[in-house]
Amino acid sequence: MMESEVSVLVGGPAGAGISSAGQVVAQLLGRLGYRVHMYLDYPSRIKGGHNFAVIRGSGGQPGAIREKMDFLLALNQETVGLHRHNLAADGVIVYDAGEVKNTSGIAVAIREILAEEDAPAVMGNSAILGAFARAAGIGWNLFEDVLRLSIPKAVALNLAVARRAYDAAEEHERVPVLDRPVFPVFSGNEAIGIGLIEGELANYFSYPMSPTSNIMHFLAGLQEEAKIRVFQPESEIAVVLMALGCAYSGTRAAVGTSGGGYCLMTEAISLAGVAELPLMIVLGQRTGPSTGLATYTAQGDLYFALNGGHGEFPRLVAAPGDAEEARAWAVAGMDLSWKFQVPAILLADKVVCEGMFSLDPDKILKRRQETPSAESNSPYHRYALTGSGISPLRFPPVKGEVIRVNSHVHDTDGITTEDPELTRAMAEKRWKKERILEGEIEEMDPVNILGARESSTALLCWGSSKWACHEAGEKNGLRVVQPVVLSPFPEKGFARAMDGIDRIITVETNETGQLSRFIREFGYHPDDTILKYDGRPFTVEELDTRVKEAVS
């Protein structure tokens, strides 16, 4: 085990509660003072297959996993067969003696415990967690407290099973307690949900598509407390049209989807563009094309997010690299969408959405909440030509007024027109908004600089590749540049981040180097590209090796 560092892998068959077990391990490490990241791996099928979670705790915030594990928790033989090579030299396998054979480590007769306690098979995850807690030298009282908070039902029986396994195991190596504040651990989807609520969400619409499905589940559990409504319509088309209906009536709404659902939404996104209706979209990327690998990660939808929809209109696209950025830009997306009356797209990926991260509970987000005040004069001009391009908003019903939105080219009242002068004026009005939005974005730290800031070689990345690049940059003495906002592109902030750089290496989880192509539009020409497109994220060791090859 490295100093101030611990990695745990828990694996088993589908239906064994591996995701829940991983979350408990993440919460345990968080309570010990570690900053935590969890990666969840499960097959794209309804039933069957191997599931596993990797949880990494560190003194500094991790956002990428390592290849070597200090603890391998195995509920079946397949887990050992697939992951034995990941065990560190001083690591240990904690396993179900009834399922795993010819393996050394800490054996616990989980099947026998379940039978004697008359407990269902799924509670094997509580047993393996109890055995892990003992093997890691974690006190029973702390473990019990975390498990109680994590179990939705049958708490007493789960605790009885876990205690039996805890007592049957033995301590292997005590995980040190770090003397630092305890941060809660959230998934990226939960952080996005929190950010949407902080951005004054009133309605959330979604049709389930991994990796954003859990946003809907999380928000549904907060409907009464947060005074929001969560609704699952019959299709993604209905989802986005309901959100636009809310925008017309003055109610903040957001939608969540993945690539296939976003395809169905694009006509309505264009409607939002010409009708100047606020629209907040969480677009979670997964491996394509088509259904692809529905439960694995990729960064293949950059151009889709930038250009999805016919015609030309401004939009905000932000790609967070972790849960903290996902929360912050969910808030900002809500506010900026309403201020500028444009679609806002939070372009996350599976690692961010379904991964878990520590969040600083005391971090206060700066709001940019200003919504243009309603025009008081009559008659009301919904698309009034203004110096900023932002027209005043009013919402029906307003006595004596008709408030129009229109999918056609229209005049200032919202009446359809084909007049060339008005067509040009309305196009220019919309693009005025983008120029002002870009200026506001520049004040919001839209580009991160990590690693060795003085280096003249840059690792350029976006989204969840941020943290693997951060560690590779620090280890190899390279600057890491991560643009978070991709539209409108923060050219000034990016130029400052790239000042002094004479060599660019891009790092992406796609096949074609989409960010590499994109930044060429702004005069930057990458020298090397490191790509990964097998549906899995970069591990720390893997990227370090490939960076060394690129700079040698």
Q: Are residues 321 and 194 in the same domain?
A: yes
Last residue in a domain, options 330, 358, 386: 358
Last residue in a domain, options 138, 168, 198: 168
| Axis-axis angle for helices 188-198, 323-340 (nearest 10) | 30
Q: Are residues 352 and 465 in the same domain?
A: no
Collapsing DSSP to helix, strand or coil, 315 comes out as coil
Total domains in the chain come to: 3
**Residue at 162 is within a domain:** yes
Q: What type of residue is 78?
A: E
Assign residue 545 the CATH number of its domain.
3.40.50.920
Q: Are residues 20 and 161 in the same domain?
A: yes
What DSSP assignment string belongs to 371-405? -PPPP-SSS--TT---SSSPPPP--S--TT-----
**Residue at 487 is within a domain:** yes
**Residue at 190 is within a domain:** yes
> What's the pTM?
0.96
Q: Are residues 11 and 135 in the same domain?
A: yes
Q: Are residues 199 and 322 in the same domain?
A: yes
- Residue 187 DSSP code: E
**Residue at 442 is within a domain:** no
- Which residues fall within 8 angstroms of residue 113, CB to CB, at 6 or more apart? 119, 127, 161, 164, 165, 168
Digits of tens for pLDDT over the chain (552 positions)? 667 899 999 999 999 999 999 999 999 999 999 999 999 999 988 778 999 999 999 999 999 999 999 999 999 999 999 999 999 999 999 999 999 998 999 999 999 999 999 999 999 999 999 999 999 999 999 999 999 999 888 999 999 999 999 999 999 999 999 999 999 999 999 999 999 999 999 999 999 999 999 999 999 999 999 999 999 999 999 999 999 999 999 999 999 999 999 999 999 999 999 999 999 999 999 999 999 999 999 999 999 999 999 999 999 999 999 999 999 999 999 999 999 999 999 999 999 999 999 999 888 667 766 655 555 567 889 999 999 999 999 999 888 888 999 999 999 999 999 999 999 999 999 999 999 999 999 999 999 999 999 999 999 999 999 999 999 999 999 999 999 999 999 999 999 999 999 999 999 999 999 999 999 999 999 999 999 999 999 999 999 999 999 998
How far apart CA 230 and CA 199 sit, in angstroms, is 15
**Residue at 24 is within a domain:** yes
- β-strand pairing of 185-187 with 5-13: unpaired
Q: Are residues 90 and 203 in the same domain?
A: no
- Cα 468–chain centre separation: 15
**Residue at 409 is within a domain:** no
Q: Are residues 9 and 123 in the same domain?
A: yes
**Residue at 417 is within a domain:** no
**Residue at 401 is within a domain:** no
Q: Are residues 225 and 348 in the same domain?
A: yes
Instruction: Report CA-CA distances (Å) from 487 to 302, 436, 439.
Output: 10, 12, 12
Q: Are residues 218 and 89 in the same domain?
A: no
Assign residue 234 the CATH number of its domain.
3.40.50.970
Last residue in a domain, options 122, 142, 168: 168
Q: Are residues 119 and 194 in the same domain?
A: no
- Cα 224–chain centre separation: 24
Domain coverage including residue 111:
5-168
Q: Are residues 59 and 93 in the same domain?
A: yes
Q: Are residues 94 and 133 in the same domain?
A: yes
Assign residue 53 the CATH number of its domain.
3.40.920.10
